[in-house]
Amino acid sequence: MKLTSKGRYAVMALVDLARFNNINPVSLRDISLRQGISLDYLEQIFSKLKKDQIVKSIRGTQGGYVLSKKPNEIKLTNIFHAVDEKVKTVKCKKDSKKGCNGKATKCVTHNLWDELENHINSFFDKKSLEDLLKSNNENRI
């Protein structure tokens, strides 16, 4: 089981954006420099964040991105969903001969995996961008 960089980058970038969000739009170039994430890759990530209305874009000189909502309204669930960082549990295919279909342990793992998904998602549902900003500030005293 693993978490990919894309989700982590999205979180890092949004925390960065939230911190510098107050006055002007924040350009991806700045985020790229501050966070050490490739600009090209950031563009891919932000196009997804925009599609899910987590950020808004402002084009042209002095343009950049702005949060669409307040930091406490943006949950990790929303972020991960936007960038396709989802909990995949590799279930059995319905019409394959392999797996649990009609077999002895049918559904054991299905129920288990469903429980696990719920468990993980409940974590993501609770954490907001604001929570992360707070813990970030505490660390930088």
Partner DNA sequence: ACTATACTTGACCAATTTAGTCAGGTATGT
Partner DNA sequence: ACATACCTGACTAAATTGGTCAAGTATAGT
| Contact residues for DNA, defined by CB under 7 A | 2, 4-6, 9, 25-29, 37-41, 43-44, 46-47, 50, 57-65, 90, 98
**87 is an interface residue for a second copy by CB under 8 A:** yes
CA pair distance 34, 57, nearest whole angstrom: 19
- One residue of 22, 36, 60, 62 binding a second copy per CB under 8 A: 36
Phi/psi region, residue 88 (left: phi>0; alpha: psi -120 to 50; beta: rest), is: beta
Cβ pair 58, 46 in contact under 8 A: no
Q: How far is CA 134 from CA 88, 128, 129, 130, in A?
A: 30, 10, 9, 6
For residues 81 and 48, give the distance between their C-alpha atoms in angstroms, rounded to a whole number. 9
Amino acid at 94: K
Contact partner, 74, from DNA, a second copy, none, Cβ < 5-8 Å per class: none
DSSP 128: B
Indicate which of a second copy, DNA, none lies near residue 107 (CB less than 5 to 8 Å, by partner kind): a second copy
Element (H, E) at 111: helix 108-126
**Cβ proximity to a second copy, 61 vs 75, nearer residue:** 75
CB nearer a second copy, residue 4 or residue 60? 4
Q: Rule CB under 8 A: which of 47-86 touch a second copy?
A: 80, 85-86
Q: Name the residues that contact a second copy, by CB under 8 A.
A: 1-5, 7-8, 11-12, 15-16, 19, 34-37, 80, 85-90, 97-101, 103-109, 111-113, 115-116, 119-120, 123, 127, 132, 135-136, 139
